[in-house]
Structure 1
Amino acid sequence: MEPGSLPPRWLRGRDQECRELIELVRAARSGHSGVLMVQGEAGIGKTALLDYLVDAASECRVLRAAGVESEIELAHAGLHQLCRPLLDEFGGLDRLPPPQAEALGTAFGLRSGRPPDRFLVGLAVLTLLSEHADDRPLICLIDDAQWLDRASAEVLAFVARRLAADAIAMVFAARTTDDDHAWAGLQRLTVRGLREPDAAAVLESVVTSPLDTRVRDRILAETRGNPLALLELPRWMSPAELTFGPGPPAAGTVTSRIEDGFRRRLDTLPDDTRRLLLIAATEPLGDVGLLRHAAERLGIGMDSAAAAEGAGLIEVWDTVRFRHPLVRSAVYRSAASPDRRAAHRVLADVTDHDRDPDRRAWHRAHAATGPDEDVAAELEASADRALAHGGLAAGAALLERAARLTPDEAGRVERELKAAQTMLHAGAVEDTLRLLGLLDHRSLTELQRARAEVLRAHIAFASSRGHEAVRLLLAAARRLEPLDLELARDTYVSALEATLFAGLRLGEPAAVEVAQAARAAPLPLRERRGDLFLQAIAVLQEDGFVAAVPLMQRVVNAFDTDDTAVDEALRSLAFASEIAVDLWDLRRWASLCQRHIGLARESGALSALQLALNSVIYTKVFAGDLTTAAALLDEATALAEVAGVTSHPYGAIALAAFRGDQDHAGPLIAVARSDALARGEKMVVALTHWAEAVLCNGNGDYPAALAHCRALLEPADHDGRVSLPPTGIQPSTWALAELVEAAIRCDDPATASAAAERLAEVAAASGTDWALGVSARCAAQLDERRAEGLYREAIDRLERDGARVDLARAQLLHGEWLRRSGRRNDARSFLRPAHTSLAAMGVQAFAERARRELAATGETVRRRAPETRKELTAQELHIARLAAEGRTNPEIGAELYLSRHTVEWHLRKVFAKLDITSRRQLRDALRRPAG
């Protein structure tokens, strides 16, 4: 084809749409990926555009799948439909990396194992498609995407967002709906009604008798350019109506009227044909063999399909295909309830119990006329299989249906509770609340009512992390104590965690009440690591930091080990890392974060990985490695995008504050604070105030820094002593150091002394060089007599602990003090390394402070940009560093959720930018300062 030309077969009135599709094919042929979401109402021509694309994609491999409304409860059904041909040709799962093969095999029910994370399944599908596209470009078409089961939709959306340098085009077609969050961010093509000249031409192409102009205009107005309506309407109208005009327009949408027209055509068919069509509409796979077996059981011959084929409603060849999804809908919905149940019953009878137990159970459920424990048990088993395959939404739907078919009240309640718990895990909060509302009218045992309360409390915690969640969790934990001690203690841990997110301070009545209740709870029969959290945080909230330190150290020791089970580690490592932060233990914090990241990547737990990345960004920032922190932030942002969720702002806040650019950091921090206030997350509000204090101290705006510290550290009593804040990502205790620096510059020694005393208590209890070094730096600013020794102690300790930014700030403060004391030569010996280090790390505001101080000593220092690799993007730098460490392209792809082709594409750009030709040169090239 010439550039811009269209294939011989074209669609009237769809030139622009066809050109967009052709560009996707061209891109795939040149080795570049493309994704398009085609949206529009039923009958508008989406499927016709996909058919057009098939004709245009010569020399490409085409995979097709379609969502089926009746399969929306079967996890990964749509995904399996798309991937099955490749698995057959690809040699099964054996050519995939083992973790990916395990995940995809489990998702498809081909292997047994623990529930796979959806993003590891997504990476497996990405690898499968990418490897297959090596031979020839791959075109993946997914029709009726609005009816995909949720698990398939999430995985396919993940894959679509990670395509870059692969010869793959993905096109989704879906009706326009309000609930399309799964496809957020994908390029859209909205298909609208045909323009009047094209619509008139389509109408005239199917009308064989003369059409009055006024009648034509009315039909065009009513159909609004919908091609299917234009093609079908003349079939519904009598010759008189075509001559003199139709009757009054029927109520309803164009879609409902098209369905109504199909129903009228069904009425003209023989009884056996309609019964055969109903079986075909009820069986979503298009399996001709299954249709034949079912028809034979009812005494219907396959020749009965001829009348439907002649009417243009269905095609039966190697598969059963309806002319349009609306035909399937019309057939199923127009049938009487007993006839639909009979169709499901016969399909259940002919579906193999061993090969397809889930679909058989689904048919049996729809065939049931009332409660049936046997069917309910089969559905629950199907739900358990769906959950094992990672299908939370499907499992919840199956459990709810099983509950409706359960004859006895007690069994129904258990299944409804199980369904509600699953819905909550799937993030379906509204559905969870709806089911809990039904449970309010059931006869529940005390334990069941307590479990329902726990669910409500967790919903409150997820939606608004304020005092209400604390109250609900505490009440649920108390109610559970005599009923289920382990669940009670787990709920106490959640309640204590909620006190931290709610920003409750040590000694605050609500926090103390939770702590006292948790400590008073009986000990479980078996010791669990999670109970260490309960003990440590309960003591912290009730007795204070110093008393809690030994227990907090036990928590850190317990989880900084390789012998923790993966599931437990993923649940607990984030909390353990936060406790290491409270202890000012930078090395343990970094170790726990790396352990968390490794396990999250290995298991594909993206939500855990996002949290771990944001935490490890802080360790890199405090260690002065802002370049790596930026690469990790880029990864966290990309992962949030592919997951279709909002990115956590925590890492971005710290990085922006340390870089010191007020124009960039100020708005970012303000938005994060506003969002946190709306969610009731006072801990994050505290984080933003700490970040602003760092930003303002760096830029020399000490009154503003003092104001932010005061907003964070409210006086605990009338003597002005600042209070020791709660645990968590503890911006409040970090803010004590910022408060000392700001208060001294604002001539407020009383406030600075109070803050330094509180920080000294924390440092003495924790005993780490980081805490003791920062505490010594603060004390030096208040004690002129001992300042020299305290600054040297601070520098020695911070150098040992690897806290490079705090080390450079100690050198800066020491140099400033020496200059003010008239010791200009001595001052330079500390200001030079402080300036050099801060500038190299990219901590620009403090670096500028050091430059000005050096200038005040009489030394001229030019402003210098940080030695970062500005010519590489954050993702390119991350990939380059992994390659320099010796990782292979598939290993890098697995870590960053990219195909190996995309990694190769990024590395080619890296080589060009660094002017190198091989991976062996990467390590040295990355060490070179940017030119």
Structure 2
Amino acid sequence: MDEHTAGLRAVAGPESAGERPIFGRDAELARLFHAVDSASADPVLVLLGDVGMGKSALLDRVARRAEASGARVLRAEGSESESNLAFSALHQLLRPVSAEVDRLPERQRAALRGAFGAGPAPAETDLMLIGVAVLSLLSALGDQRAVVVVLDDTQWFDRASLDTLSFAARRLAGEPVTMLLAARVGEHLRGFDRHVPTLTLGPLDDAAAGRLLDLRPQPPTGRMRTRILDEADGNPLALTELTRAVTAREADTKPPSTGPLPLTDHLERIFAARLNRLPASTTRALLLLAAMDTVDSAIAVPAVLPNAEDEAWPPAEQAGLVRRTGQGLRFSHPLVRSAVYHAAPVDARRAAHLALAEPLRDEPDRRAWHLAAAATRPDAAVAAELERTADRARRRGGHAAAAKALQRAAELAPQREDSARLLVEAAAAAVLTGDLAWVEELAAGVRARTDDASLLADAAAQVGRLAVLTVRHTVVFSRLADAAERLALARPATALDLLAGAAVVRFYCGEDAQRHRTRAVLRRLPEDASHAWLRTWVRAVSDPFDDRAGLLCLLPRVAAEARRRPDRLTAFAIMAWLLDETPQAVRAFDEAFDRWGTRGPLPDGLGGAAAWSYVEQGRWGRAREACARSSALGTTAGLDHAVACAAAVDATVLAYQGDATAARARAEDALALIDPWESRSVAVYARRALGAAALAEGAHEAAYDQLRTVFTADGAPVHYHASYPALADLAAAAVRSGRREEAAVIVERSARALADNASPRLRALLERARGLLADPEDAEPHFRAALADPVLEHWPFERAQTLLDLAEWLRRRRRIAEARAPLAEALETFRRLGARPWIERARAEARAAGLDVTDSTPDALAELSPQQQQIIRLAARGLTNREIGEKLFLSPRTVSSHLYRSFPKLGITARSQLRELIENTLVTAGHQD
């Protein structure tokens, strides 16, 4: 919307021909110009301001300047009337570049056109692919010339558009694309509310306000000027409109005796009074139609008021309520639209909505919402229309739009049971927005409408489905466990489903009392063979080391269930990971990702398990891909816990690869997003990453301090699953920082706690820790035991660390010949993984052992950043830049830039040389990608 066209005009140096001055915004305009003109500026800037502060005028000025300099400007304006229509704002933005959309790769083009309803909706919408498509499109447009994306009134954007644009915005670094957004102060813009620069428009100072008044045709003077300045309080729109009102001698321009009204109320009254002075009822009727929906009025007005437009618009323009541009009708300010709508009698509004609905039979979603707005009592037909609208929105990935349509349908459903059913469906759609408060509101509506146990249970299950992904773990666990206990006898299947969610929360939180509660509720649930896999899930997630042997016996049955029900593959993979059956986990995760790719708007429960499985098996590139996916989904849905978990895993990989600075930054990001006592698992992961980063730098005291925090003061694990893998690193840091005795107490306490339930992997880590902490003459048996089981090859990094420890011990015992084989094997593994700090340590040890250590071709990759290594490996497999971008959620330009910077470091000049360069590395690694 043109937020203050009637009033605010700026001054920021010489004005172009035809441009009117904007007073008092020199610094703001300079900041906006810098954002558009400078390659070093942040690619995204949010402009905030109260109603009437001049956001739209500033954006208009910047857009005109950008177009004059040759940039392509894409614009979209939020509209209350379209905020319920999925992807409507994005469609408005990209409509002028539809030809470029047609040139996108087939999958991206189909996803974007499906979102716009311009093509067949896919069976399952991939929201991340839509985001990648927008990013690719903006990048491709930037190949031709600079692009400026101007988004106004974003507080009224539909949720699907805002999520997609925020996804693209976070990946614009290095692109010739600038995104400028305007929104009202206090509005929550999901995806743009963290780490995005903002510029807030405050009131004009007295001098600028006075100059603005002087620009009016009849500038106020004396006491009236003072009163206008006082009441407007530096708001440019208020200054202009109060002056216009005074000049027209409107009654409500005088401040009330008890003080001024709130600014927006006062301005709406001014506009409403001006509306009442219009000479013809036709004009008011036409304005009302336009206020409801500018797009729809272009269709409806000729049918409803034939030949009315030519005679109706001039009075409205003269009153300063609207202006007509080459693109059609525009209100002078959003408050004018609001005033026109609310000043109309209820019957007039209802008639207008019906009039707008009539010619929209080919646009059923718009028609449904107009019919809903006209409905004053329950109406089954309109409720059914909204249900169909929700279904279309859902199939296109517009989950917020679907939930809103179902919620309104529930209000219009004549039967209470139907209303409750629709609210349950609305809750299911709202779950996929990540808005827990909304889901809880919808569930409360179900409880108010019905006593049906089935519907009540379904509502509770929807709340639980989303609640497990939030950071409110303590509260959420209690609610889920309580609900499961209440439903244990009446609805055991639903109760078990809720308890499964509670088990996930138990894993995140790690509080020991939750284990006892989970067991107690599980014992109350009747045994049912059809739900055996879910009972196994609850046991494995809430306490994998309580009866590991028993759980392993049940795992084949769960695997068989996953083969019959592929949607349960991820659940099986998570259970296998929790039980340290990493090879099975990785195979299942691979199959799940190959089948479903990045589909689904929310991260999976325990979504970090996939990334951890890949980390443990040495497939660090694949781990970072999983982290990127989980982070993208979590950020879009506003689920900080999922984002934090991905950041912690990513930090660990970066630390192993030797990028300690980036690892620390990612780990600190994770810790900033969570409460360490509400999310013990993520806190432990982040501390382990910080410890690994310190070890990579040889800062052993700092490493010990970090790793010590993953165990309590008396040596118990802070988290029942996440803490144990830190034992060996804790011991390594302790030996080199003089904390041997304290670490030995922790290691032995963990050994007693795990006892016979320790997995081969954990037994190996315990033995490595014991070897490091033992007296020199007693260390060898522990190192040998840590390497004895062949299955440990599935944890290559951990095995290579133990091989290096053994080799160092052997060399110090002057058993140099024996040291060479484990040294060579460790060095080869570290090279394959790209573990740079450990490569250097192993090289030094190998030289000391008399080995001829020569750099091999794969070491060239060590000069690249972890992300560049990922891109190089994917490019070597023959993927195009666009395909790599889809995998890593990057634009093709960013991929190309990384390749361009990597080639000189690798000593090559062409992409065709990549495969030959690292083919041997990929074959040797086997699982690297």
TM-score (norm: length of structure 1): 0.80
Q: Which residue of 2 aligns with 1:309?
A: 317
Q: Which residue of 2 aligns with 1:146?
A: 155
Q: Which residue of 2 aligns with 1:103?
A: 111
Q: Which residue of 2 aligns with 1:381?
A: 388
- Residues 394-409 of structure 1 mapped to structure 2, 5 A cutoff: 394-409=401-416
Q: Which residue of 1 aligns with 2:712?
A: 711
Q: CA deviation at 1:268?
A: 0.9
Q: CA deviation at 1:795?
A: 3.8
Q: CA deviation at 1:883?
A: 1.9
Q: Which residue of 2 aligns with 1:426?
A: 433
Mapped partners of 1:249, 1:9: distance in 2:
43
Which AA in structure 2 matches 1:344?
Answer: H
Which AA in structure 2 matches 1:546?
Answer: A
Contact 1:139 1:169 in 2 (8 A): yes
Mapped partners of 1:246, 1:539: distance in 2:
64
861 and 65 in structure 1: CA distance in 2 versus 1, 3 angstrom threshold: closer
Q: Which residue of 2 aligns with 1:894?
A: 886
User: Which deviations, in whole Å up to 9, do the C-alpha atoms of 1:861-907 show, x marking residues without a partner?
Assistant: 99xxx968576444333323322222111111222223323333333
Q: CA deviation at 1:277?
A: 0.9
Mapped partners of 1:474, 1:640: distance in 2:
25
Mapped partners of 1:580, 1:387: distance in 2:
33
Mapped partners of 1:42, 1:476: distance in 2:
45
| Residue 536 of structure 2 corresponds to residue 544 of structure 1 | no
| Residue 35 of structure 2 corresponds to residue 44 of structure 1 | no
SS of alignment partner, residue 183 of structure 1: coil
685 and 206 in structure 1: CA distance in 2 versus 1, 3 angstrom threshold: closer
| Residue 288 of structure 2 corresponds to residue 278 of structure 1 | yes
| Residue 182 of structure 2 corresponds to residue 173 of structure 1 | yes
Contact 1:162 1:642 in 2 (8 A): no
| Residue 130 of structure 2 corresponds to residue 121 of structure 1 | yes
| Farther-moved stretch of structure 1 (886-895 vs 432-441) | 432-441
Q: Which residue of 2 aligns with 1:581?
A: 577
| Residue 498 of structure 2 corresponds to residue 491 of structure 1 | yes
Q: Which residue of 2 aligns with 1:79?
A: 90
The structure 1 residue matched to 2:328, chosen from 319, 329, 333, is 319
916 and 10 in structure 1: CA distance in 2 versus 1, 3 angstrom threshold: farther
Which AA in structure 1 matches 2:483?
Answer: A
Q: Which residue of 2 aligns with 1:522?
A: 528
SS of alignment partner, residue 424 of structure 2: helix
Mapped partners of 2:28, 2:554: distance in 1:
65
SS of alignment partner, residue 423 of structure 2: helix
121 and 402 in structure 1: CA distance in 2 versus 1, 3 angstrom threshold: same
Contact 1:740 1:751 in 2 (8 A): no
711 and 832 in structure 1: CA distance in 2 versus 1, 3 angstrom threshold: farther
Which AA in structure 2 matches 1:51?
Answer: D
Q: Which residue of 2 aligns with 1:761?
A: 756
Contact 1:760 1:772 in 2 (8 A): no
| Residue 254 of structure 2 corresponds to residue 259 of structure 1 | no
Q: CA deviation at 1:335?
A: 1.4
| Farther-moved stretch of structure 1 (285-294 vs 632-641) | 632-641
Which AA in structure 2 matches 1:305?
Answer: W
Mapped partners of 2:461, 2:872: distance in 1:
47
821 and 439 in structure 1: CA distance in 2 versus 1, 3 angstrom threshold: same
Which AA in structure 1 matches 2:802?
Answer: A
Contact 2:676 2:682 in 1 (8 A): no
The structure 1 residue matched to 2:354, chosen from 322, 341, 345, is 345
474 and 303 in structure 1: CA distance in 2 versus 1, 3 angstrom threshold: same
Q: Which residue of 1 aligns with 2:725?
A: 734
The structure 2 residue matched to 1:804, chosen from 773, 777, 796, is 796
Q: CA deviation at 1:578?
A: 3.0
TM-score (norm: length of structure 2): 0.81
Q: CA deviation at 1:671?
A: 8.3
Q: Which residue of 1 aligns with 2:925?
A: none
- Residues 190-209 of structure 1 mapped to structure 2, 5 A cutoff: 190-208=200-218
| Farther-moved stretch of structure 1 (818-827 vs 221-230) | 818-827
SS of alignment partner, residue 190 of structure 1: strand
| Residue 305 of structure 2 corresponds to residue 295 of structure 1 | yes
SS of alignment partner, residue 182 of structure 1: coil
48 and 619 in structure 1: CA distance in 2 versus 1, 3 angstrom threshold: same
Q: Which residue of 1 aligns with 2:649?
A: 651
Mapped partners of 2:435, 2:781: distance in 1:
59
| Farther-moved stretch of structure 1 (130-139 vs 218-227) | 130-139
Which AA in structure 2 matches 1:294?
Answer: V
Contact 1:692 1:708 in 2 (8 A): no
610 and 873 in structure 1: CA distance in 2 versus 1, 3 angstrom threshold: farther
Q: Which residue of 2 aligns with 1:511?
A: 518
Which AA in structure 2 matches 1:410?
Answer: E
Contact 1:76 1:107 in 2 (8 A): yes
Q: Which residue of 2 aligns with 1:366?
A: 373
Q: Which residue of 2 aligns with 1:719?
A: none
- Residues 27-42 of structure 1 mapped to structure 2, 5 A cutoff: 34-42=43-51
Mapped partners of 1:747, 1:18: distance in 2:
60
Q: CA deviation at 1:158?
A: 1.9
Please list every run of 5 or more consecutive structure 1 residues that lacks an aligned counterpart in the other structure: 716-721
Mapped partners of 2:889, 2:663: distance in 1:
29
User: Which deviations, in whole Å up to 9, do the C-alpha atoms of 1:829-860 show, x marking residues without a partner?
Assistant: 65676578669967688789879989999999
Mapped partners of 2:876, 2:352: distance in 1:
61
Q: Which residue of 2 aligns with 1:70?
A: 81
Identity of paired residues, percent? 32
Contact 2:767 2:785 in 1 (8 A): yes
63 and 249 in structure 1: CA distance in 2 versus 1, 3 angstrom threshold: farther
Which AA in structure 2 matches 1:368?
Answer: A
Mapped partners of 1:425, 1:315: distance in 2:
40
Mapped partners of 2:651, 2:112: distance in 1:
37
User: Which deviations, in whole Å up to 9, do the C-alpha atoms of 1:126-156 show, x marking residues without a partner?
Assistant: 3344445555554433221111111111112
Q: Which residue of 2 aligns with 1:718?
A: none
Contact 2:149 2:178 in 1 (8 A): yes
Which AA in structure 1 matches 2:652?
Answer: A
64 and 511 in structure 1: CA distance in 2 versus 1, 3 angstrom threshold: closer
Q: Which residue of 2 aligns with 1:746?
A: 741
| Residue 235 of structure 2 corresponds to residue 226 of structure 1 | yes
Q: CA deviation at 1:679?
A: 5.6
395 and 320 in structure 1: CA distance in 2 versus 1, 3 angstrom threshold: same
Q: Which residue of 1 aligns with 2:873?
A: 881
The structure 2 residue matched to 1:454, chosen from 458, 461, 471, is 461
Mapped partners of 1:631, 1:869: distance in 2:
18
SS of alignment partner, residue 413 of structure 2: coil
SS of alignment partner, residue 520 of structure 2: helix
Q: Which residue of 1 aligns with 2:3?
A: none
Contact 1:75 1:150 in 2 (8 A): yes
- Residues 833-848 of structure 1 mapped to structure 2, 5 A cutoff: none
Q: CA deviation at 1:106?
A: 2.8
- Residues 858-877 of structure 1 mapped to structure 2, 5 A cutoff: 872-877=864-869
102 and 521 in structure 1: CA distance in 2 versus 1, 3 angstrom threshold: farther
Mapped partners of 1:4, 1:231: distance in 2:
22
Mapped partners of 1:857, 1:875: distance in 2:
34
SS of alignment partner, residue 237 of structure 1: helix
Which AA in structure 2 matches 1:512?
Answer: R
Q: CA deviation at 1:534?
A: 4.0
Mapped partners of 2:839, 2:84: distance in 1:
58
SS of alignment partner, residue 731 of structure 1: coil
Q: Which residue of 2 aligns with 1:336?
A: 345
Please list every run of 5 or more consecutive structure 2 residues that lacks an aligned counterpart in the other structure: 1-11, 922-929
SS of alignment partner, residue 179 of structure 2: strand
SS of alignment partner, residue 188 of structure 2: coil
User: Which deviations, in whole Å up to 9, do the C-alpha atoms of 1:597-633 show, x marking residues without a partner?
Assistant: 5556x34447539975x54554554456768867876
User: Which deviations, in whole Å up to 9, do the C-alpha atoms of 1:744-793 show, x marking residues without a partner?
Assistant: 95399897667557767346xx6x7x567557757878899997677556
Which AA in structure 1 matches 2:679?
Answer: E
Mapped partners of 1:308, 1:340: distance in 2:
19
RMSD of the TM alignment (CA)? 4.9
Mapped partners of 1:342, 1:880: distance in 2:
62
The structure 2 residue matched to 1:212, chosen from 215, 221, 224, is 221
Contact 2:545 2:579 in 1 (8 A): no
